[in-house]
Amino acid sequence: MPSRASYLLLAGAVFLLDQTSKWVVGQALALGETRRVFPELFNLTHLRNPGAAFGLLSNHDSPWMAAFLIAFSVAALALVATLLWRGPARLAGVGLGLVLGGALGNLFDRLRAGSVMDFLDFHLGSYHWPAFNLADSAIVVGAAALAAEVLRGRRGALREG
């Protein structure tokens, strides 16, 4: 059974990959610039998102919204850290590590720059998915791992292995 330290290392790796990818994109693309990688499917686009994941709440330009998102992130991090401390089952621990690393990456951006850099830009025909980043991806995959653990009906999946 992996230790808490292994889940924290996973979170650290996610954080470093997220921040490194954002740094590379920030160096390669000006704000608003797009590079087509796979036409009609995938672009790299340097965007700043003052809202939540996938552009949610990005139209609410308010200092209260920024404070709310920071407070929500800190509360979510505290919850994830508490659940990790309890020694979760393996899949739940991986999910929590992914969520922790992703949440830290986006919180770091928000505290440093007031918004989060998004750059992964997928589209198919006229359908366009909101741009996102590696931290958002880690959070979604981590949440899916947690949901899978719950759906498998594992009692105590978030408390003990």
Phi, psi of 49 (to 5 degrees): -120, 110
Catalytic residue of the set 18, 109, 121, 136: 136
Look-up of token digits 């720059």: 113
Distant-in-sequence contacts of 75-81, Cβ < 8 A, 24+ apart: 76/103, 77/103, 77/104, 77/107
* CA gap 145, 23 in Å, rounded: 28
Confirm if 96 and 80 have CB atoms less than 8 A apart. Answer: yes
Contact 73, 103 (CB under 8 A): yes
Q: Compute the distance between CA of residue 161 and CA of residue 129 in angstroms, rounded to an integer.
A: 37
User: Tokens 């998915």 label which residue?
Assistant: 129
Active-site option among 18, 109, 118, 121: 118
Active-site annotation holds for 61? no
- Tell me which residue of 12, 35, 40 sits closest to 24, measured CA to CA: 35
Catalytic residue flag (residue 121): no
Which residues are known catalytic residues?
118, 136
